[in-house]
Every structure is written in structure tokens, then in C-alpha cells.
Structure 1
Amino acid sequence: MDGTILTSIASAERVWTAWALRHGLDVATFIPTIHGVQSVETIRRLGLPGVDPVAEAAEITRLEMDDVDDIAPIPGAAAFLASLPLDRWAVVTSAPRGLALRRLAAAGLPTPPLLIAAEDAARGKPAPDCFLLAADRLGVAIDECLVFEDAPAGIAAAEAAGADVMVLTATHRHPVETVHPRIAGYELMALDPADSDRLGFLPVAA
């Protein structure tokens, strides 16, 4: 979701920067580690003495839900999602369900027919659990799924699950090294009119 169909980077980084400063962390080093993983895991792996990761993550979520003014869709995402059959796509996010729904609404994107959120999988990304669960609930084999991802943890989770991967670069500040195909947005993505089971790229006028 974040960085894949919408951008909430400014919101998330404002909240996490304030949190990092309160805990004496180097912001420049810390902020790149927050993307694509559950907040509780981000805090837990720091091993800060006297810090309850669950309580801190809950407070982070509350603050993020209050800070949605500049959340926006990735270019072409709304039209692309609207073109997909409702039983063929899902959002799989490391965000808690409440925050995910809040950000989707702020970006003007539809509530997905299936939402796998942080609460739903035993292990978060980069573990494959969330994508395997989504495929199971869609009733589709994971090796027939295409995962759109932007963050290393999400890409690793999709790879571990056995899905195909398309990397979204709309929010990347630096070139990303990947073996997977890349797109900056969805303006040229569409279902193949000759085969509704396949995605393809719309032709570009000369």
C-alpha cells in the first residue's frame, strides 16, 4: 500500500522523526529502516532499554492516523484498481488495519475487496506469510500472483512466497537494484483486452 498505491512517506517520516529525536536516535540513519515493515518490529529490533515496542507502536499508529493531509495516490493507481475484477486483487500491508483504511480514504482510493493488514499474519514482511494468506483467501496459487512492491522487505517477502514481483519506483529517492521489472506508476498498466487474466502495458502514441 504505502509506496505502492499511495504515498504516505511525508506523513510517516514526520511522525517517526519526532519519535527518533525523543529517543536520541540518529534520524538520517534510522528513517530509511522504517519502510515496509511493521512499526512494532522497527522498534523491537532497536532493543532500546525501558521501551515497550507494543505500546510505542500503538502511539506511532495513533499519531500517523492524525497526520494524513498530504497523502496522495501513486499516479494512475485509482484508475488501475478500478479496472480490476473485485475478486482478483488485494492490498497486503504492514500497516495496522485502522491506519491502512485511514490512508486509503485520505488518498481517495477504494477500500480493497480483501485487505491483509499487520494483525492478520503471524509474521510480518520480509516473511512471506502475508502474501501467502492473501493468495489463499483469493483462491489463487501464489505462483499465479503478481505482487506490486516498493520496499526491500516487501520485495523479499514476495520472493519468499513465490510470487512474481513488479517494483514501483514512484517514491524512490535513489535508483533501486532489482532483478524484477519496474514501473514508476500505473498510467500504462491495464488488463489485456484479449485475455482478461493477463496484465499488459497500453501502447504509447508516437
Structure 2
Amino acid sequence: MMFTPSIEFPTTIVHHTVKAVLFDMDGTLIDSSPAVAAAWKLLRDTGYDFLDLDHILKSAHGYRTIDALRKWCKIDDEELLKREVVRFENAILSNAQAKAGSGGGIIALPGVSQLLDDIEASTVSEHGQGWSVCTSSTHFYASKALPAAGLRIPNVFVTAESVTHGKPAPDPYLLGAKLNNVSPFDCIVVEDAPTGIRSGKASGALVLATCTSHTRDSLERESPDFLVPNLSYVKASRNLDGSVSLAIAQPADRKETASTPDDTPLHTPALSRVPSATDMFKKIHSAVATPREPGTEIDDYGARGVKAMGGF
């Protein structure tokens, strides 16, 4: 697969083949940030005047809505929490619809539509779509947001209700791999947020980060295996056996993603000790860390198997 990107900085083209591509949704496939910001403002103006919107908009991305509202709105009553989740996500959709004509609606990010078409490749449809969505959004919201952006809903569609523990726990991506009948080691996770990168790495999958909602520096701190500005820097082709070959044009100045030594404390709550991309290519299964059990993560001191809390 030949790929010459049209870009303004030096790149290195990395080729890799996987059995399934597991995408995050908001910030990775679609952009709903103006509508999300308006929904948080609605909460602040209707009972949660203590909310620091600047901090939340920088920090909450990647969390399930129920976890984000529990954490930042400090809601303890579970019934109230469920009602506020519905109100929040309805506000996103209504704001997006109202602003659709002025550029503030829900839109597909650059390169997404073509990439999904190339992965799905109708000529090998007997092997399935080859891509799935593993999102922190509820099924109600996600099932409306994708079509609003002109994207189809995949056959394997993991949403907030699908798992007990959301990102940064590995559960969404472990389930995504399971529903595709493949090992997480044979998947690549595509994420735009530090929380999601931690989840993907903890599952044992390779992780491709897109700089569509966070700075490159903030994503590099999570040690993704690959990194691109957006998905127009990724090309895909479908193989006869159903696997997906990817050509990833990442910045040429990226350093090799080194594996984390076992005796090194972690700087993130749930960073996996999965080998680097180069190690994976050399010995794909012989020296790969075991994926995290559902609902577990690594704490700040490197202790293994800490049970993820219901609200992060």
C-alpha cells in the first residue's frame, strides 16, 4: 500500500496490520465540542454554579457522562445522576442541531469517512466491518451523534452502558475486541484523549493517538504507539483474510515508545506496561504484557490490579 501524505512537516510512514480497529468516538471520529461546551454551561447555569468550565473542558473529555457528572457536579444521588445524564446529552444534541447551519453542529473529523470506507471494503464483507466504536457516550447519544455527522453505526458498538467500568479502565476495549472475536493484541485503538489512551494501552492493544482535541505534548506523555495530527494521515486497505493494513504518517521526530520498566512508578493512573511498537513487531505474542482484567488499573505507585472505582 503506497501512501504519500500531503503535509507540511517531515513524516515517517509506519505500516502495521491488525484484525480490528477500535475507535473512540467524540474527538476521534466526530467533533461535537461547541455543543458539549454549551451543555456544560447549561449545567453551570442551572444548579451547578461552582463548575469551572475551563478546567472541565480540558479534563473531562474521554470520561463517561455519568462518571464526569458524578465527579465534577458532585452528584451522589444515583437517580438524580441518571436524570442529569439525560439532560446533559439532550442538551448536546439540541445545541448541535440548532448550530448545525453555522458550523457548530456535530461533524466528521478530517479523513474519517474515507478511512472507514477503506477499512470496511465491501469486497471482503464476509469478514465483518473491520472497525468498531468503543465510546464513553451513552447508546442514546452515540446512536444519534454518528448519523448527525454523516457516519454509520458499526455492528460492534460499545457504549457507556456496555461496561461496568469506563475509561481509563480497559473494559471498553477489552469488550470491543471480544465482540470482534479477536485478541486485544491483534487490535489497534484510535484515541484522542489521555484517558482513552490509558484505557487502550491497559487492554493490551496498540494505540494510535490523534491530536484532534489535545496537544501533542499531552498525548505523548501517555506513550501512544503511534501519533498523527488527524485521521487524514492514516490510510487503510482490507486484505483477503479480513485483516486491515494501515499506513500511518506520523511526525518523523517521534522517539521510539519505550516500554515501562516494572520498577518505575507510573505518572498516570492506568498506564499499561505493554511493550513498544517495535517490540511488538519483533515478537508479537512472545513478550506481551497480559491485558488488564476488566475494571482494574495500575495506581500511581505502580501497584497492579487496583480495582477501578465507580467514579473516577
TM-score (norm 2): 0.60
How far 1:63 moved relative to its partner? 1.5
The answer for the alignment partner of 1:43 in structure 2 is 69
2:192 counterpart residue number: 150
* 1:149-197 CA-partner distances (Å, limit 9, x unpaired): 0111111111111110000112335743412221122224222578854
Residues 174 and 133 of structure 1: CA distance in aligned 2, closer, same or farther (over 3 Å): closer
Query: How far apart are the structure 1 equivalents of 2:196 and 2:75?
Result: 28
1:201 deviates by 3.9
Query: What is the aligned partner in structure 1 of residue 22 from structure 2?
Result: none
For the pair 1:79 / 2:124, whether they are aligned, the reply is no
RMSD over aligned Cα atoms: 2.2
Task: Determine what percentage of the aligned residue pairs are the same residue.
Answer: 27
Out of 245, 257, 262, the residue aligned to residue 198 of structure 1 is 245
Q: 1:26 to 1:192 in 2, by over 3 A?
A: closer
Checking the alignment, whether the CA contact within 8 Å between 2:167 and 2:199 is kept in structure 1 is: yes
Query: What is the DSSP-based 3-state SS (H/G/I as helix, E as strand, rest coil) of the residue aligned with 1:119?
Result: helix
- Summarize the Cα distance change of 1:191–1:34 in structure 2 as closer, same or farther, 3 Å threshold: same
Q: Indicate the residue corresponding to 2:182 in structure 1.
A: 140
1:16 to 2:54 alignment:
no
Per the alignment, in what secondary structure is the counterpart of residue 84 of structure 1?
A: helix
Task: Encode CA deviations 1:15-70: one digit per residue, 9 max, x unaligned.
Answer: 11221243112222232232111111112123636763222112112212222222
Q: Is 1:62 the counterpart of 2:90 in the alignment?
A: yes
Establish whether residue 28 from structure 1 lines up as the match of residue 54 from structure 2. Answer: yes
Mark the CA change 1:111 to 1:46 in structure 2 (over 3 Å): closer, same or farther.
closer
Change in CA separation of 1:194 and 1:133 when aligned onto 2, cut-off 3 Å: closer
Distance in 2, Cα, partners of 1:14 & 1:130: 27
Instruction: Count residues with an aligned counterpart.
Output: 202
The Cα of 1:103 is off from its aligned counterpart by 1.0
C-alpha displacement of 1:75: 0.4
Name the structure, 1 or 2, with higher relative contact order (CA <8 Å, separation 6+). 2
Q: Secondary structure of 2:72's match? A: coil
Q: Which has the larger radius of gyration?
A: 2
Please, which runs of 5 or more residues in structure 2 have no aligned partner? 1-24, 121-127, 250-312
Residue in 1 that maps onto 2:234:
189
Q: Deviations over 1:91-147 (max 9, x none)?
A: 010111121121111111122121111111111111111100010010110011100
Q: How does 1:151-170 map to 2 (within 5 A)?
A: 151-170=193-212
